[in-house]
Amino acid sequence: MSESAVTSCPFSGTREYPIKRSNPLDPAPELAEMRAAEPFAKVRLWTGQDAWLVTRYDDVRKLLTDPRVSADNTLPNFPGATPGMLAVRTKYPSFITMDVPEHTQFRRMLTGEFAVKKIEALKPRIQQVVDERIDAILAKGPPSDIVRDLTLALPITMICDLLGVPYEDQDFFHAKADLITDSRTPPDVSSKAIQELCDVYIAGLIERKNLSPTDDLLSRLVVNQLRPGHLTPIQLIGIARLLLIAGHDTSAHTMSLGILALLENPEQKQALIDDPTLINSTVEEILRYVDVTHNGRRRIATADIEIGGHVIRKGEGIIAHNAAANRDADAFPDADKFRIQRDARHHIAFGYGIHQCLGQPLARAELQILIGTLFRRIPSLALAAPISSLEFKETSFVYGVERIPVTWES
């Protein structure tokens, strides 16, 4: 394509993907341009392959529920997100990369564990962890790093409780998770991290559970699924890895970015403090506004699909962009504004279709309790450094912020 063709039409060239943000709490502005002018855009990935980038809410929901759209990352030309994610997924396949009917069979081994009522019963424990953490923050006095001291600590504690993983191991598995999800990690380093996490650490945990099962999810999977042969050891490692990583990183960063969104919108923060019953709609708005899965859901077409005047051909990669869809004004009026009073429940931060996040009742409970309690107990919470000085996880599969220094009136 000639230079002039590129400049005359800003959308005609194949652009590099992912696209960097300009503001830490907003998706890249180019995504809004594409949503308006080119809702099906061809983009070039780090692997050199092309994929369709889909940015409108309705199109994203249609594709994520279309049986001709596959999540099977072993298919040729699958648009993998990072070298680490691709390596981990092919070595330890889990139900998030399976299609119906295998997906149904594996997912149902877990759905009962995350049912709304099961999570309801965990709320007192979540509240206790949050209270203890905030007690410690207040006792130490300002400043504090709210990520390390609170938003990471809660989901890590909960996932350790749930899976029966020793809490002392958190630094180890959190560091490995960071390496696997970061696109800058060289393939040999992520392979090593995966090996240490899966073949050594998780395999060891499972062996111990097999010798003496305790009252936790991993033990139940060992007893009910591994022993009778419904799961192979590799499959169980895949599931445990997914729960351990997806179960803490995403919730932690959603809470961190949600706190930032409230601090950056003081009138919204005040509205929540004045009316704590807004906490549920606040959490849905945070989920809509700060999508941590910022580089989109990865899929591939298994047949030609006609959609929106385009044809996605069999074998072409698809990136269904949740974050862009969640800012689509056709689905959310004034979509770029952070408004905790709006009804945002139909957001797709947890994805859409059969792969929609299994742990969402837990994530919601954690978000509601942590954010609600934090602003109730420390209403004067404020950033201790400008937002522009914070370090965001732009290159990670899971977007987030490394640290949030905060202060308050003590």
Residue 9 or 116: the one with the smaller Cβ distance to other proteins is: 116
Residue 67 or 187: the one with the smaller Cβ distance to other proteins is: 67
**Strand, coil or helix: 20:** coil
Q: Look up residue 5 and give its two tokens.
A: 């063709």
Residue 106 or 397: the one with the smaller Cβ distance to other proteins is: 106
Min separation Cβ 206 and other proteins, Å: 22
Sign of CA dihedral 229, 231, 235, 240: negative
The residues of the shown chain that bind other proteins, judged by CB under 8 A, are 64-65, 104, 107-108, 111-117, 345-346, 350-358, 360-361, 364
Q: What is the DSSP letter of 66?
A: -
Distance between CA atoms of residues 255 and 260, nearest Å: 9
Residue 354 or 390: the one with the smaller Cβ distance to other proteins is: 354
Tell me the residue length of the chain.
Answer: 410
Q: Tokens 């149902």, residue?
A: 108
**DSSP state string for 110-147:** TGGGG-HHHHHHHHHHHHHHHHHHHHHHHHH-S-EEHI
Residue 353 or 400: the one with the smaller Cβ distance to other proteins is: 353
Min separation Cβ 110 and other proteins, Å: 8
Min separation Cβ 112 and other proteins, Å: 4
Min separation Cβ 361 and other proteins, Å: 5
Other beta carbons within 10 angstroms of residue 82's beta carbon come to 21
Min separation Cβ 109 and other proteins, Å: 8
Burial grade of 379 (CB within 10 A; 0-12, 13-18, 19 or more): middle
Min separation Cβ 305 and other proteins, Å: 17
Residue 26 or 113: the one with the smaller Cβ distance to other proteins is: 113
